């Protein structure tokens, strides 16, 4: 008896389990015929399916070549296909398939386990997108399979007798709700399971769909694009990774799965099922697959000796909007697991509610948003060409949406970044930065971004106290936004509090482990003023582009007595800015206390500036 596997890799095996070397399109034909009512199609129908984008004559020629290859492989009575001059028929008497699990007579719970396990793999998952006919067939079959699993779930819902049965039911319900988050009968089944608290104690949160429908119309009076606004926010909870080979990863993974089920019981979110989340975690290009699945948020989790660290990331802007660490004490975790899951689910839902208006605003202006993303991808590179290209992109965003607060935020940052990189003390750049930061706050006073840029600008204008106040407010608005924490740390360096600054920049780096160069530059500055010169140099050496930090590296090496390496960095800095003057620079760089200027001057002069 031959066996056809259609879920996952499409393949056919003989009675001993050995894979048969059938061409990919022959296997696809067999699978297609298996799903047809009488398992028979004309040659023209097969050709039109396999080569729908080709001319009929060419499709017919391709089919004749395929049939020739099939006949060379197998002409025995056990061949799965009976091919005549006009038709192709599947010989179901010699072939069985995994698809038959949907029609088997089994007890409901046993059948649900089999079906749910089968649907953990993608139907025809190894088939590359070839043409619309094949793509449409695969999509239609996936809908049929989900509908059948739903029916099995409804039949099995009342027959759970064990924890394992409950997990089977919850797993199937999550799979269905991933594709259809408005399926209330399935949600009711999930909420009825022991330990699912969301139905009885939902976090206070608005209806995201109602927020979308209430969004203002576009300038010409037409309703906004419902492809973005009519969609529920989509969240994926990535399985935890382990750091340092610490034990307990399975318990951490089970905890994340519990959180997934808790969130699926809510009506205001679309949750990616755990099996899809596992695929995303393993994929080498996570950004591409997340975008393909239209995911707005991801909950990234890491397990270490300090417990389970979870951070909620808004994917379009890569902003960490919430983070928390949970203890993973082996003695208490089994009893605390459900409470932790409920707390984590409630916290995530609350943060999504706070951030959702921002998502709707972004998706309502796709052209402005696209231009903004271009600018955001460039502004982190601290070179003058990148900064000015980013500025152009932010200005383009404002052409599409005159009140787009993130674009004003980006513009403000571009001006302060240019002021830093050029080191000429150009006050006009700072005035422009302040104007744009204020505009950002006017259009969005609950966003941390505008206050962050205002704080940075106030620092360079010499008003250190106002800078600290603005950045403290920004951090209160978004306490896990790593970029805000970095800017707060940078201001604390200039406020003559390098110890507090270093502690805060380390927190920013912990939130954003693949830290941008600006974080490391700030850490180097804080270390220098703590007279930890070796650490300062190490932070500079870790930067991908050391250009902005040549002066602090030279000063640190000079203070260590390493004049040769200090001279190398001084030459690099001089090549970039040959008119740099120590006293002029110190006159415009704001330090609250004189000892900092004296210490920096000493290092720069020793380095040969």
Q: Please name which of 556, 553, 609, 552 lies closest in space to residue 583, comparing C-alpha atoms.
A: 609
Q: How confident is the model at residue 565 (pLDDT cuts 50, 70, 90)?
A: very high
Confidence (pLDDT) at 532: 94
Q: How confident is the model at residue 359 (pLDDT cuts 50, 70, 90)?
A: low
Q: Is the pLDDT of residue 363 over 80?
A: no
Percent of the chain with pLDDT over 90: 30
At 169-199, the pLDDT tens digits run 988 998 898 888 888 899 888 888 876 654 3
Q: Please name which of 279, 288, 263 lies closest in space to residue 199, comparing C-alpha atoms.
A: 263
Out of 166-175, 266-275, 277-286, 315-324, the most confident range is: 166-175
> Distance between CA atoms of 363 and 361, rounded to whole angstroms?
6
Q: How confident is the model at residue 331 (pLDDT cuts 50, 70, 90)?
A: low
Q: How confident is the model at residue 249 (pLDDT cuts 50, 70, 90)?
A: confident
Confidence (pLDDT) at 188: 87
> How high is the mean pLDDT of the chain?
82
Average pLDDT over residues 139-150: 93
Q: How confident is the model at residue 244 (pLDDT cuts 50, 70, 90)?
A: low
Q: How confident is the model at residue 60 (pLDDT cuts 50, 70, 90)?
A: very high
Q: Is the pLDDT of residue 202 over 50?
A: no
Q: How confident is the model at residue 233 (pLDDT cuts 50, 70, 90)?
A: confident
Confidence (pLDDT) at 200: 40
Q: How confident is the model at residue 4 (pLDDT cuts 50, 70, 90)?
A: very high
Out of 109-113, 122-126, 221-225, least confident range: 221-225
Report strand pairing: 2-5 vs 11-13.
antiparallel
Confidence (pLDDT) at 50: 93
Confidence (pLDDT) at 219: 39
Chain-centre distance for alpha carbon 488: 25
Residues 1 and 96: beta-carbon distance below 8 Å: yes
Q: How confident is the model at residue 217 (pLDDT cuts 50, 70, 90)?
A: very low
At 470-489, the pLDDT tens digits run 999 988 887 777 888 888 89
Out of 171-185, 430-444, 567-581, the most confident range is: 430-444
Confidence (pLDDT) at 218: 41
At 443-456, the pLDDT tens digits run 888 778 889 899 98
Percent of the chain with pLDDT over 70: 85
Is 327 or 486 the better-scoring residue by pLDDT? 486
Looking from the CA of 387 toward its CB, the CA atoms found within 13 Å total: 16
> Distance between CA atoms of 42 and 28, rounded to whole angstroms?
15
Average pLDDT over residues 280-306: 77
Confidence (pLDDT) at 371: 81
Q: How confident is the model at residue 113 (pLDDT cuts 50, 70, 90)?
A: very high
What are the distances in angstroms from CA 468 to CA 342, 415, 495? 36, 19, 8
Q: How confident is the model at residue 300 (pLDDT cuts 50, 70, 90)?
A: confident
Confidence (pLDDT) at 213: 41
Q: Calculate helix-pair angle for 517-529, 594-607, nearest 10 degrees.
A: 100
Q: How confident is the model at residue 263 (pLDDT cuts 50, 70, 90)?
A: confident
Average pLDDT over residues 506-516: 78
Confidence (pLDDT) at 316: 67
At 538-549, the pLDDT tens digits run 999 999 888 888
Residues 14 and 73: beta-carbon distance below 8 Å: no
Q: Is the pLDDT of residue 527 over 90?
A: yes
> Distance between CA atoms of 210 and 217, rounded to whole angstroms?
14
Confidence (pLDDT) at 211: 38
Q: Is the pLDDT of residue 215 over 60?
A: no
At 376-395, the pLDDT tens digits run 777 767 688 889 998 999 99
Q: How confident is the model at residue 222 (pLDDT cuts 50, 70, 90)?
A: very low
Q: Please name which of 406, 488, 414 lies closest in space to residue 455, comparing C-alpha atoms.
A: 488
Task: Tell me the pTM.
Answer: 0.55
Show Cβ contacts of residue 476 under 8 Å, excluding neighbours closer than 6 positions: none
Out of 229-238, 242-251, 330-339, 522-531, least confident range: 330-339
At 76-102, the pLDDT tens digits run 667 899 989 999 999 988 899 999 999
> Distance between CA atoms of 406 and 439, rounded to whole angstroms?
10
Out of 96-110, 273-287, 321-335, 413-427, the most confident range is: 96-110
Q: Is the pLDDT of residue 220 over 50?
A: no
Out of 206-215, 358-367, 550-559, least confident range: 206-215
């Amino acid at each position: 008896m031959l066996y056809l596997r259609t879920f996952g890799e499409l393949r056919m095996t003989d009675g001993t389990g050995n894979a048969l070397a059938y061409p990919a399109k022959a296997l696809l034909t067999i699978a297609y015929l298996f799903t047809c009512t009488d398992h028979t199609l004309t040659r023209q129908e097969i050709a039109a399916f396999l080569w729908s984008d080709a001319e009929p004559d060419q499709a017919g020629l391709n089919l004749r070549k395929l049939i020739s290859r099939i006949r060379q492989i197998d002409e025995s009575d056990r061949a799965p296909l009976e091919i005549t001059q006009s038709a192709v028929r599947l010989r179901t008497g010699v072939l069985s398939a995994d698809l038959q699990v949907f029609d088997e007579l089994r007890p409901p719970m046993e059948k649900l386990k089999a079906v749910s396990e089968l649907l953990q793999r993608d139907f025809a998952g190894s088939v590359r997108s070839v043409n619309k006919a094949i793509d449409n067939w695969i999509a239609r079959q996936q809908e049929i399979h989900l509908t059948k699993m739903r029916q099995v779930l409804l039949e099995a819902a009342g027959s759970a007798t064990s924890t394992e049965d409950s997990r089977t039911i919850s797993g199937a319900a999550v799979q269905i709700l991933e594709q259809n988050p408005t399926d209330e009968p399935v949600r009711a089944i999930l909420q009825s399971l022991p330990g699912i608290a969301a139905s009885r104690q939902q976090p206070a949160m608005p209806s995201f769909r109602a927020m979308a429908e209430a969004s203002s119309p576009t300038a010409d009076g037409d309703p906004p694009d419902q492809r973005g606004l009519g969609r529920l926010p989509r969240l994926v909870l990535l399985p935890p990774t382990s750091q340092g080979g610490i034990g307990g990863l399975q318990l951490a993974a089970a905890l994340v799965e519990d959180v997934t089920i808790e969130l699926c019981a809510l009506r205001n979110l679309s949750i990616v099922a755990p099996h899809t989340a596992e695929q995303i975690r393993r994929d080498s290009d996570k950004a591409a697959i997340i975008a393909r699945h239209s995911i707005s948020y991801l909950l990234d989790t890491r397990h270490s000796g300090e417990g389970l660290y979870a951070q909620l990331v808004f994917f379009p802007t890569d902003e960490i909007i919430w983070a928390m660490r949970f203890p993973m004490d082996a003695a208490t975790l089994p009893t605390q697991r459900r409470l932790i899951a409920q707390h984590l689910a409630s916290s995530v839902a609350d943060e999504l509610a706070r951030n959702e208006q921002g998502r709707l605003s972004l998706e309502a202006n796709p052209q402005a948003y696209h231009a903004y993303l271009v600018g955001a991808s460039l502004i982190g590179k601290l070179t003058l060409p990148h900064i000015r290209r980013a500025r152009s992109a932010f200005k383009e965003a404002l052409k599409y949406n005159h009140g787009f607060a993130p674009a004003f935020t980006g513009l403000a940052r571009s001006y302060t970044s240019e002021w830093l990189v050029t080191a000429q003390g150009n006050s006009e750049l700072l005035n422009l930065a302040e104007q744009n930061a204020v505009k950002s706050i006017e259009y969005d006073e609950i966003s941390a971004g505008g206050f962050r840029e205002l704080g940075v600008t106030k620092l360079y204008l010499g008003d250190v106290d106002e800078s600290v106040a603005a950045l403290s407010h920004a951090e209160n608005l978004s306490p896990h936004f790593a970029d805000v924490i970095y800017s707060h740390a940078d201001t604390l360096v200039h406020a003559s509090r390098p110890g507090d600054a270093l502690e805060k920049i380390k927190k920013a780096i912990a939130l954003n482990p693949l830290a941008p160069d600006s974080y490391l530059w700030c850490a180097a500055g804080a270390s220098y003023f703590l007279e930890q010169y070796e650490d300062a140099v190490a932070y500079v050496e870790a930067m991908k582009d050391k250009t902005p930090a040549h002066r602090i590296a030279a000063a640190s090496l000079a203070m260590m007595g390493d004049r040769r390496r200090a001279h190398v960095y001084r030459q690099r800095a001089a090549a970039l800015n040959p008119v740099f003057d120590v006293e002029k620079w110190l006159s415009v760089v704001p330090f609250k206390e004189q000892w900092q200027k004296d210490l920096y001057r000493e290092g720069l002069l020793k380095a040969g500036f």
